Amino acid sequence: MSEIPSELMYTKSHEWVRLESDGTATIGITDHAQELLGDLVFVELPEVGSDLAAGDACCVVESVKAASDVYMPITGEIIEVNDMLVDEPETINDSAFDDGWLFRVQPSSEVEFDDLLDADTYEAEIAD
Amino acid sequence: MPFIPHTEQEIAEMLQAIGVDNINALFEEIPSHLLAGELAGIPEGMTEMEISRLMHARASQHPQSICFLGAGAYEHHIPSAVWEITTRGEYYSAYTPYQAEASQGTLQLTYEYQSMMTAMTGMDVSNASLYDGASALAEAVLMAVRGNRKSKSRKILVPTTVHPAYRKTTHTIVRGQHIELCEVAYDATSGVVSLDAIKQRAEAEGGDVTAVVIQQPNFFGNLESVDEITDWAHEHDILVIAVVNPLTLAILQSPGEWGATGADIACGDGQPLGAPLSAGGPYYGFICCKQELVRQMPGRIVGRTVDLDGKTGFVLTLQAREQHIRRSKATSNICTNQGLVVTASTIHMSILGARGLENAASACHANTVSLVAQLSAVKGVDCAFNSPYFHEAVLKLSKPASEVLAALADRNILGGYDLSMSYPELGSAILVCATEMRTEEEIGAYAKALAEVIA
């Protein structure tokens, strides 16, 4: 069973969102997602400065057996990307919720957080 | 036994069932003046011996024309060994094989092809080939749009010195993706595109440009200022797509050496490397790029690896880009290609070697210099441009090009490519070419014939 930290918010498409104290949000893919993908070999990160809407495909994670889009959980501007993943994409396999974060977003509005799932709901979602 | 399945009896039964006397009654409503009647010209069947005698007689009536025609496909010497080896059963497939366990020979050959292409273009990566030069440019444009994330415009600068057929094909392929090809006019005196013209067009488009295409040598045979265009483009976050004739790379600077940083993508038609003219094909397209763009590369890529026992082997690699994994988001729907022509090309390059390719390229240039000197000495013939050229040049004629070319063809000389359709502003002008196949006698014969025709 994969780990699902209770302090994070989730999407049905397996992204996690952590609201930081400065109002920004850090985003990654869940431990469950990395398990499904297998050994990651490449990550195509979004461009810093781009404005994206919730649901936009913004990032690609590629494993030895599949390539998958990552979708914006919330609307906002990309303010930082995890450059370390360019050379060490396997970090996502080792630490999906921590060192393997993908990018940080300056959210355009807080309303949308209501659309995200809490840990229990996400756990029920992936149990199906 | 006849191949028509109905017997006379069955036909009679069917006619009776629908109430007509004979089959021709079914066609009665066709007015009689429209009927062709008996097809009297079709002879009875012939034996194999008779038909081969007839064909030999017909072939000997067909004149062997001397070819001074290029414009994207060229007559080169192909050693007999090339197609003798290529058509062996072991290689005889158009497909790039994906079953590593059954296809090590072909996969290794494709790997060697990729290595040769990267060495020639000065790029980091090559794929296993594409359909032809024109569609290779379209794929390069699509790659640039995916790869240049600093540009949002989807605008590509394309000088009119890029092959007209390549521009049309590219437009057809990319227009559905809202990619705009912005033409840049060439300089009327030099027959090349100036950096100023490129800058002006970029400014007119608002400054945000995704990529610039440069063909070297350009469609007119002239050498473009690739260094300064590449450097300017990279200063403005514009990707550089090089369209090149691979044979010329034996003596010209490779795209990887253009400017301070090199072109980003190099593509073109592989025909000059071992594919006969053969009435227009099959040829093949090639595409190479820098490492940064490898995941935007369309088509198949063969990689070298080791098996569980540590032995070297060859497999398809980076397949996550491809349609069977990425579905609608694949880099391209190209999965098979011109594998057999690529096989011939790889064998051709390995037989000629670096020195052989260099000799062929140098001979092409030397013969064309001689051709241009002798033809432009003819009264009524002038060089259109004053730029250095490789193995093609544009000549302006005092008589209509189509008439001159037709009269030359009557004298068994394919005199060149009529530019009036694609470049009406040049007036009566032809594109001429002399490869290493042409002799001084043939060049002299062309000059003599042209003098007679144009007088």
**What per-residue confidence (pLDDT) applies to A110?**
63
- CA angle B335–B338–B343, rounded 5-degree value: 120
Interatomic CA distance for residues B326 and A44, integer angstroms = 14
Specify whether the CB–CB gap between B242 and B120 falls below 8 A.
no
Flag whether pLDDT at B326 surpasses 80.
no
Q: What is the pLDDT of residues B43-89, one digit of tens each?
A: 888 899 999 999 999 988 877 899 999 999 999 999 999 999 999 98
Q: What is the pLDDT of residues A17-61, one digit of tens each?
A: 999 999 999 999 999 999 999 999 999 999 999 999 999 999 999
**What per-residue confidence (pLDDT) applies to B317?**
87
Specify whether the CB–CB gap between B224 and B253 falls below 8 A.
no
User: Domain A9-109, what architecture?
Assistant: Beta Barrel (2.40)
Interatomic CA distance for residues B276 and B118, integer angstroms = 23
Q: What is the pLDDT of residues B121-140, one digit of tens each?
A: 999 999 999 999 999 999 99
**What per-residue confidence (pLDDT) applies to B63?**
77
Interatomic CA distance for residues B378 and B450, integer angstroms = 8
Instruction: List CB contacts of B332: < 8 A, sequence separation 6 or more.
Output: B139, B142, B298, B299, B323
Distance from CA of B333 to the nearest CA of A (A): 16
CA closest to B321 among chain A residues: A67
Strand partners, A15: A29
Interatomic CA distance for residues B282 and B298, integer angstroms = 20
Specify whether the CB–CB gap between B411 and B366 falls below 8 A.
no
**CA dihedral for A27, A33, A35, A37, sign (positive or negative):** negative
Mean pLDDT, chain B, as a whole number? 93
Measured between beta carbons, the chain B residues lying within 8 angstroms of A44 are: 295
Measured between beta carbons, the chain A residues lying within 8 angstroms of B320 are: 42, 62-63, 65-67
Flag whether pLDDT at B42 surpasses 90.
no
Measured between beta carbons, the chain B residues lying within 8 angstroms of A69 are: 329
Mean pLDDT, chain A, as a whole number? 91
B326/A42 CB distance under 8 A: no
A63/B320 CB distance under 8 A: yes
Q: What is the pLDDT of residues B207-221, one digit of tens each?
A: 999 999 999 999 999
B295/A44 CB distance under 8 A: yes
Q: Which of A24-28, A62-66, B328-332, B342-346 is least confident?
A: B328-332
- Nearest CA-CA partner of B432 in B246, B385, B188: B385
Interatomic CA distance for residues B272 and B77, integer angstroms = 9
Measured between beta carbons, the chain A residues lying within 8 angstroms of B149 are: 47
Rounded average pLDDT over B148-176: 96
φ/ψ (deg, to 5) at A13: -90, 20
DSSP-assigned letters across all residues of A6-20: TTSEE-TTSEEEEE-
Best residue in B146, B148, B149 for a mutation probing chain A (most A CBs within 10 Å) = B149
Measured between beta carbons, the chain A residues lying within 8 angstroms of B210 are: none
Q: What is the pLDDT of residues B250-294, one digit of tens each?
A: 999 999 999 999 999 999 999 999 999 988 889 999 999 999 999
Q: Which of B90-99, B174-183, B205-214 is least confident?
A: B90-99
Place of tokens 């469609």: B219
CA closest to B294 among chain A residues: A42
CA closest to B317 among chain A residues: A64
B320/A66 CB distance under 8 A: yes
Measured between beta carbons, the chain A residues lying within 8 angstroms of B329 are: 67, 69
Q: List domains and CATH numbers for chain B.
A: 66-76+355-454 (3.90.1150.10), 80-348 (3.40.640.10)
DSSP-assigned letters across all residues of B262-306: --SEEEEE-TTTT---GGG----EEEEE-GGGGGG--S-EEEEEE
Distance from CA of A117 to the nearest CA of B (A): 27
Interatomic CA distance for residues A119 and B232, integer angstroms = 52
The complex's ipTM? 0.73
**What per-residue confidence (pLDDT) applies to A55?**
92
Could you tell me the CA-to-CA distances from B121 to A33, A49, B114, B342, B346 in Å, in that order? 40, 34, 11, 16, 15
A74 phi-psi bin (left φ>0, alpha ψ -120 to 50, beta other): beta
**What per-residue confidence (pLDDT) applies to A94?**
95
B326/A67 CB distance under 8 A: yes
Measured between beta carbons, the chain A residues lying within 8 angstroms of B322 are: none
C-alpha gyration radius of chain A: 13
Three-state secondary-structure class, residue A107: strand
**What per-residue confidence (pLDDT) applies to B113?**
97
A69/B325 CB distance under 8 A: no
Q: How confident is the model at residue A105 (pLDDT cuts 50, 70, 90)?
A: very high
A42/B329 CB distance under 8 A: no
Distance from CA of B325 to the nearest CA of A (A): 6
Distance from CA of A112 to the nearest CA of B (A): 27
A47/B321 CB distance under 8 A: no
Flag whether pLDDT at B33 surpasses 90.
no
C-alpha gyration radius of chain B: 27
CA closest to A42 among chain B residues: B295
Among B149, B150, B325, beta carbon nearest to A67: B325
B320/A69 CB distance under 8 A: no
Tokens of B10: 């069955």
Specify whether the CB–CB gap between B138 and B169 falls below 8 A.
yes
Q: How confident is the model at residue A2 (pLDDT cuts 50, 70, 90)?
A: confident
